[in-house]
Chain A
Amino acid sequence: MSAPPDFHPAHHAPAVWFLKGLKAGLSVPAIVLFASYLGFGAVLQSVGFPIGAGLVSTLLVWALPAQLILIGGIAAGTALPAVALAVAISSIRLLPMVVSVAPYIRGPRRSLFWELVSAHYVAMTVWLEGLRMLPHLPGEARLPFTLGLGNMLVSISMMGTLAGFLVAGELPTPLAAGLLLLTPLSFTVLMVRNATGPTDWLALAAGFLLMPATLRLEGGLDLMIAGIGGGTFAYVAGRLLERRRRPS
């Protein structure tokens, strides 16, 4: 389904729309991203992951859960193909996001190259902000605006990553511990917020409880067992629960 073209009276050059997108990126979601990546930078520092590669992960992966699974998996000594699989599974959620927002980004002129480039910026924040703002923009403005918005948010997140990494080793113990708690704490709260059905709660509980039980296993199998095993259990159990709740 493509968005109806919205013929806004204002006509600007693409560069102007890019600048407007950059400006739109300076917002409350940018502060949230900065704080989230501050925690990620501190995690990088604590596990001894090189900062250059960490910054590149923010630029290229641009999905914090996938980045955490990547760094967590490597730190746990998980085999790289298994980490790649875990990252791929965690990133499948990006597919429906891109599918739903791409018609708004695309505008009137179809260009596969620019569609692929603009899709890179789609993660939770650009998806939400794109769905909110793009329908109000004229068709030709959407692609440059999205690129401006995305690049601003990525830049701010990279600054957060760097700041967290640099600061983590310098802070007094209570604050350094607080910075490292930021990621598990905020993700726990966000997962509780996003949990809607029994499957979500079961997946959350299974992943959380299976992890300490599998910590001592050799070969870094813990992520696979807790993630794929726990998630599959939650999916099956959740379906059974929902079927019992709504007898047809």
Chain B
Amino acid sequence: MTGAAMSEGAALLIVVLVGFLPTEIWRSLAVLAGRRLEEGSPVFHWVKAVATALLAAVVARLLFAPAGALAAVPLMLRLGAVAGGVAGFLAFRRSVFVGVLVGEILLIAGIMLSH
């Protein structure tokens, strides 16, 4: 968080204006006029690519510039745990559960061993 902790009221206002409205508008538009938009159109492919890159960027931010307890963990261990999780996912029948489990075990074992 930049600067002092945000007040509950300010945060609530931000959640409604910056979180709720930009999200709900698409759900409402879908009900009101959704059938005119095509799923396979170039605009939709671009939107999907930007949404994927945005989410990847947010995830990378949580890994490269984490807050709280994760910040004390070395960068290589954070990245290694996620890489190991992806490897576990690919190795064990593309199971998301196994992937997450492997990543978590790697991180926690790594922290315990380095202490």
Task: Say yes or no: is B72 at the interface (Cβ < 8 Å to chain A).
Answer: yes
Chain A residues contacting B65 (CB-CB under 8 Å) are 215
What is the bound-complex CA distance between A102 and B52, given in angstroms?
A: 24
Nearest CB of chain A from residue B81's CB, rounded to whole Å = 6
A92 — nearest CB in chain B belongs to which residue? B47
Chain A contact residues: helix, strand, loop or mixed: helix
Chain B contact residues: helix, strand, loop or mixed: helix
Task: Say yes or no: is A163 at the interface (Cβ < 8 Å to chain B).
Answer: no
Size bracket of the B interface: 35 or more
| A residues neighboring B (CB under 8 Å) | 42-43, 45-50, 52-54, 56-57, 60-63, 65-70, 72, 74-77, 80, 83-99, 102, 112, 115-116, 119-120, 122, 168, 171, 173-193, 195, 199-200, 202-212, 215, 222-223, 226-232, 234-235, 238-239
A-B contact pairs, 28 of them (CB 8 A): A50-B5, A53-B11, A89-B47, A94-B26, A96-B34, A99-B35, A116-B31, A173-B69, A174-B108, A174-B111, A175-B108, A177-B107, A179-B69, A180-B70, A184-B62, A185-B82, A189-B96, A195-B52, A208-B56, A209-B60, A211-B56, A215-B61, A228-B54, A231-B46, A232-B50, A235-B46, A235-B49, A238-B49
